[in-house]
Amino acid sequence: MNEERVQALRGLEERLGWHFADIALLDNALTHRSFVNENATLACRDNERLEFLGDAVLELTVSDMLMRKFPDHAEGQLSKLRASVVNEQPLAELARRFGIGEHLLLGKGEEGSGGRMKSSLLANAFESIIAAMFLDGGFDPTAVFIGRLFEPLIGKGNLSAVYRDYKTAVQEMSQILFREMPRYIVISETGPDHDKRFETNLLIGERVIATGRGRSKKEAEQQAAKTALEELRKIESVPEE
Protein backbone atom coordinates (compact mmCIF):
# COMPACT_ATOMS: atom_id res chain seq x y z
CA MET A 1 0.00 0.00 0.00
CA ASN A 2 1.58 3.28 -1.09
CA GLU A 3 1.55 6.52 0.87
CA GLU A 4 -1.13 8.10 -1.31
CA ARG A 5 -3.48 5.20 -0.55
CA VAL A 6 -2.71 5.40 3.16
CA GLN A 7 -3.50 9.12 3.23
CA ALA A 8 -6.77 8.58 1.38
CA LEU A 9 -7.78 5.92 3.89
CA ARG A 10 -6.85 8.21 6.77
CA GLY A 11 -9.34 10.70 5.37
CA LEU A 12 -12.02 8.01 5.34
CA GLU A 13 -11.12 7.16 8.94
CA GLU A 14 -11.87 10.74 9.94
CA ARG A 15 -15.29 10.61 8.33
CA LEU A 16 -16.03 7.28 10.00
CA GLY A 17 -14.75 8.50 13.35
CA TRP A 18 -12.61 5.39 13.77
CA HIS A 19 -8.82 5.18 13.86
CA PHE A 20 -7.56 1.78 12.70
CA ALA A 21 -4.58 0.35 14.52
CA ASP A 22 -4.11 -1.78 11.40
CA ILE A 23 -4.98 0.32 8.33
CA ALA A 24 -4.54 -2.78 6.15
CA LEU A 25 -7.87 -4.07 7.49
CA LEU A 26 -9.64 -1.04 6.06
CA ASP A 27 -7.82 -1.48 2.75
CA ASN A 28 -8.92 -5.13 2.63
CA ALA A 29 -12.52 -4.13 3.37
CA LEU A 30 -12.51 -1.91 0.27
CA THR A 31 -10.99 -4.44 -2.13
CA HIS A 32 -13.47 -5.97 -4.56
CA ARG A 33 -12.83 -9.38 -6.06
CA SER A 34 -12.68 -7.87 -9.57
CA PHE A 35 -9.55 -5.94 -8.51
CA VAL A 36 -7.93 -9.07 -7.08
CA ASN A 37 -8.72 -11.04 -10.24
CA GLU A 38 -7.06 -8.41 -12.42
CA ASN A 39 -4.04 -7.99 -10.15
CA ALA A 40 -2.97 -11.53 -9.39
CA THR A 41 0.63 -10.49 -8.79
CA LEU A 42 -0.32 -8.20 -5.89
CA ALA A 43 -0.50 -9.60 -2.38
CA CYS A 44 -4.12 -8.63 -1.73
CA ARG A 45 -7.35 -10.36 -0.81
CA ASP A 46 -10.92 -9.45 -1.64
CA ASN A 47 -13.41 -8.36 1.00
CA GLU A 48 -15.87 -11.26 0.75
CA ARG A 49 -14.79 -12.96 3.99
CA LEU A 50 -15.01 -9.63 5.80
CA GLU A 51 -18.46 -9.06 4.31
CA PHE A 52 -19.58 -12.41 5.77
CA LEU A 53 -18.32 -11.45 9.23
CA GLY A 54 -19.61 -7.89 9.08
CA ASP A 55 -23.11 -9.08 8.23
CA ALA A 56 -23.11 -11.26 11.37
CA VAL A 57 -21.83 -8.45 13.61
CA LEU A 58 -24.38 -6.04 12.16
CA GLU A 59 -27.30 -8.44 12.60
CA LEU A 60 -26.36 -9.26 16.18
CA THR A 61 -26.02 -5.61 17.15
CA VAL A 62 -29.24 -4.50 15.45
CA SER A 63 -31.09 -7.50 16.93
CA ASP A 64 -30.02 -6.41 20.41
CA MET A 65 -31.09 -2.83 19.70
CA LEU A 66 -34.52 -3.97 18.51
CA MET A 67 -35.01 -6.27 21.50
CA ARG A 68 -34.34 -3.36 23.84
CA LYS A 69 -36.34 -0.82 21.87
CA PHE A 70 -39.42 -3.00 21.37
CA PRO A 71 -39.73 -5.33 24.39
CA ASP A 72 -43.32 -6.29 23.51
CA HIS A 73 -42.73 -7.20 19.86
CA ALA A 74 -42.99 -10.84 18.80
CA GLU A 75 -40.16 -12.64 17.00
CA GLY A 76 -41.83 -12.21 13.62
CA GLN A 77 -42.16 -8.46 14.06
CA LEU A 78 -38.55 -8.14 15.18
CA SER A 79 -37.35 -10.19 12.21
CA LYS A 80 -39.20 -7.96 9.77
CA LEU A 81 -37.82 -4.83 11.38
CA ARG A 82 -34.28 -6.18 11.31
CA ALA A 83 -34.63 -7.17 7.66
CA SER A 84 -35.84 -3.67 6.81
CA VAL A 85 -32.80 -2.12 8.50
CA VAL A 86 -30.04 -4.58 7.61
CA ASN A 87 -30.52 -4.73 3.87
CA GLU A 88 -28.83 -3.39 0.80
CA GLN A 89 -30.52 -0.03 0.45
CA PRO A 90 -29.95 1.53 3.90
CA LEU A 91 -26.43 0.08 4.02
CA ALA A 92 -25.64 1.57 0.61
CA GLU A 93 -27.03 4.92 1.75
CA LEU A 94 -24.72 4.87 4.76
CA ALA A 95 -21.79 4.00 2.48
CA ARG A 96 -22.63 6.99 0.28
CA ARG A 97 -22.81 9.25 3.33
CA PHE A 98 -19.20 8.39 4.19
CA GLY A 99 -17.97 8.51 0.59
CA ILE A 100 -16.93 4.86 0.67
CA GLY A 101 -17.40 4.38 -3.07
CA GLU A 102 -14.50 6.65 -3.98
CA HIS A 103 -12.11 4.42 -2.01
CA LEU A 104 -13.12 1.07 -3.50
CA LEU A 105 -10.47 -0.92 -5.36
CA LEU A 106 -12.23 -2.21 -8.48
CA GLY A 107 -11.23 -4.06 -11.62
CA LYS A 108 -11.42 -2.16 -14.91
CA GLY A 109 -14.63 -3.88 -15.98
CA GLU A 110 -16.42 -3.13 -12.71
CA GLU A 111 -15.09 0.42 -12.76
CA GLY A 112 -16.36 0.94 -16.30
CA SER A 113 -19.85 -0.34 -15.45
CA GLY A 114 -20.32 2.23 -12.68
CA GLY A 115 -19.34 -0.04 -9.81
CA ARG A 116 -18.71 2.85 -7.43
CA MET A 117 -22.39 3.76 -7.62
CA LYS A 118 -23.84 0.26 -7.32
CA SER A 119 -25.84 -0.25 -4.16
CA SER A 120 -24.82 -3.90 -3.94
CA LEU A 121 -21.08 -3.11 -3.92
CA LEU A 122 -21.50 -0.23 -1.50
CA ALA A 123 -23.56 -2.28 0.94
CA ASN A 124 -21.05 -5.11 0.83
CA ALA A 125 -18.19 -2.69 1.43
CA PHE A 126 -20.00 -1.19 4.41
CA GLU A 127 -20.46 -4.64 5.96
CA SER A 128 -16.79 -5.36 5.31
CA ILE A 129 -15.79 -2.17 7.12
CA ILE A 130 -17.91 -3.25 10.10
CA ALA A 131 -15.93 -6.51 10.16
CA ALA A 132 -12.64 -4.61 9.89
CA MET A 133 -13.66 -2.50 12.89
CA PHE A 134 -14.59 -5.63 14.84
CA LEU A 135 -11.23 -7.24 14.13
CA ASP A 136 -9.38 -4.01 14.83
CA GLY A 137 -11.05 -2.87 18.04
CA GLY A 138 -13.38 -5.59 19.30
CA PHE A 139 -17.14 -5.93 19.58
CA ASP A 140 -18.07 -3.20 22.08
CA PRO A 141 -16.60 -0.20 20.20
CA THR A 142 -18.02 -1.58 16.94
CA ALA A 143 -21.47 -1.92 18.51
CA VAL A 144 -21.27 1.72 19.65
CA PHE A 145 -20.46 2.78 16.07
CA ILE A 146 -23.37 0.74 14.69
CA GLY A 147 -25.73 2.05 17.35
CA ARG A 148 -24.90 5.65 16.52
CA LEU A 149 -25.83 5.09 12.87
CA PHE A 150 -28.83 2.83 13.25
CA GLU A 151 -30.58 4.32 16.26
CA PRO A 152 -32.24 7.03 14.10
CA LEU A 153 -33.54 4.33 11.75
CA ILE A 154 -35.23 2.26 14.43
CA GLY A 155 -36.17 5.02 16.88
CA LYS A 156 -39.79 4.83 17.98
CA GLY A 157 -41.87 7.30 16.03
CA ASN A 158 -39.36 7.37 13.20
CA LEU A 159 -39.74 3.80 12.00
CA SER A 160 -40.68 4.96 8.50
CA ALA A 161 -37.05 6.05 8.08
CA VAL A 162 -36.18 2.36 7.87
CA TYR A 163 -37.80 2.14 4.46
CA ARG A 164 -35.33 3.98 2.31
CA ASP A 165 -35.92 5.91 -0.86
CA TYR A 166 -36.29 3.22 -3.50
CA LYS A 167 -36.82 5.87 -6.19
CA THR A 168 -33.28 7.15 -5.75
CA ALA A 169 -31.87 3.63 -6.01
CA VAL A 170 -33.86 2.90 -9.18
CA GLN A 171 -32.73 6.18 -10.71
CA GLU A 172 -29.07 5.34 -10.10
CA MET A 173 -29.36 1.81 -11.43
CA SER A 174 -31.37 2.90 -14.47
CA GLN A 175 -28.67 5.39 -15.40
CA ILE A 176 -25.99 2.73 -15.02
CA LEU A 177 -27.82 0.04 -17.02
CA PHE A 178 -29.71 2.07 -19.63
CA ARG A 179 -28.45 5.67 -19.37
CA GLU A 180 -32.08 6.76 -18.96
CA MET A 181 -34.14 8.25 -16.16
CA PRO A 182 -37.21 6.33 -14.97
CA ARG A 183 -40.65 7.93 -15.37
CA TYR A 184 -43.79 7.49 -13.27
CA ILE A 185 -47.30 7.62 -14.73
CA VAL A 186 -50.51 7.42 -12.68
CA ILE A 187 -52.74 4.91 -14.47
CA SER A 188 -55.68 4.95 -12.07
CA GLU A 189 -57.07 6.97 -9.17
CA THR A 190 -60.01 5.51 -7.29
CA GLY A 191 -61.97 6.03 -4.08
CA PRO A 192 -63.40 9.08 -2.29
CA ASP A 193 -61.22 12.04 -1.38
CA HIS A 194 -60.65 10.81 2.16
CA ASP A 195 -59.62 7.32 1.05
CA LYS A 196 -57.89 7.55 -2.32
CA ARG A 197 -56.04 4.67 -4.02
CA PHE A 198 -53.42 5.32 -6.68
CA GLU A 199 -51.90 2.92 -9.20
CA THR A 200 -48.68 3.99 -10.91
CA ASN A 201 -46.48 2.52 -13.64
CA LEU A 202 -42.71 2.94 -13.64
CA LEU A 203 -41.26 3.18 -17.14
CA ILE A 204 -37.73 3.20 -18.46
CA GLY A 205 -37.86 4.39 -22.03
CA GLU A 206 -41.19 3.07 -23.27
CA ARG A 207 -41.06 -0.16 -21.27
CA VAL A 208 -43.21 -0.64 -18.16
CA ILE A 209 -40.88 -2.11 -15.56
CA ALA A 210 -43.18 -2.26 -12.55
CA THR A 211 -46.52 -1.13 -11.09
CA GLY A 212 -47.11 0.21 -7.60
CA ARG A 213 -50.20 0.94 -5.51
CA GLY A 214 -50.73 3.18 -2.50
CA ARG A 215 -52.85 5.71 -0.64
CA SER A 216 -50.85 8.55 -2.17
CA LYS A 217 -48.98 9.14 -5.40
CA LYS A 218 -45.71 9.10 -3.47
CA GLU A 219 -46.48 5.76 -1.83
CA ALA A 220 -47.49 4.22 -5.16
CA GLU A 221 -44.28 5.46 -6.78
CA GLN A 222 -42.16 4.04 -3.96
CA GLN A 223 -43.89 0.66 -4.27
CA ALA A 224 -43.32 0.66 -8.04
CA ALA A 225 -39.68 1.61 -7.48
CA LYS A 226 -39.21 -1.18 -4.93
CA THR A 227 -40.52 -3.77 -7.39
CA ALA A 228 -38.50 -2.28 -10.25
CA LEU A 229 -35.34 -2.42 -8.15
CA GLU A 230 -35.75 -6.17 -7.76
CA GLU A 231 -36.14 -6.56 -11.53
CA LEU A 232 -33.15 -4.35 -12.34
CA ARG A 233 -30.94 -6.28 -9.91
CA LYS A 234 -31.68 -9.42 -11.92
CA ILE A 235 -30.39 -7.65 -15.02
CA GLU A 236 -27.36 -6.30 -13.14
CA SER A 237 -26.44 -9.80 -11.91
CA VAL A 238 -26.43 -11.35 -15.40
CA PRO A 239 -22.75 -11.90 -16.34
CA GLU A 240 -21.50 -10.20 -19.47
CA GLU A 241 -20.60 -12.45 -22.39
Hey, which residues are catalytic here?
A: 55, 127
Do residues 4 and 21 lie in contact, with contact meaning Cβ atoms separated by under 8 Å?
Answer: no
Which element (helix H / strand E) includes 190?
strand 183-190
Q: Tell me the three state secondary structure of residue 13.
A: helix
Sign of the alpha-carbon torsion through 33, 50, 148, 137: negative
| Contacts (Cβ under 8 Å, ≥6 apart) of 122 | 91, 92, 95, 96, 100, 101
Measured between alpha carbons, how far is 117 from 122 in angstroms, rounded to an integer?
Answer: 7
| Contacts (Cβ under 8 Å, ≥6 apart) of 54 | 29, 126, 127, 128, 129, 130, 131, 132, 134
Measured between alpha carbons, how far is 109 from 105 in angstroms, rounded to an integer?
Answer: 12
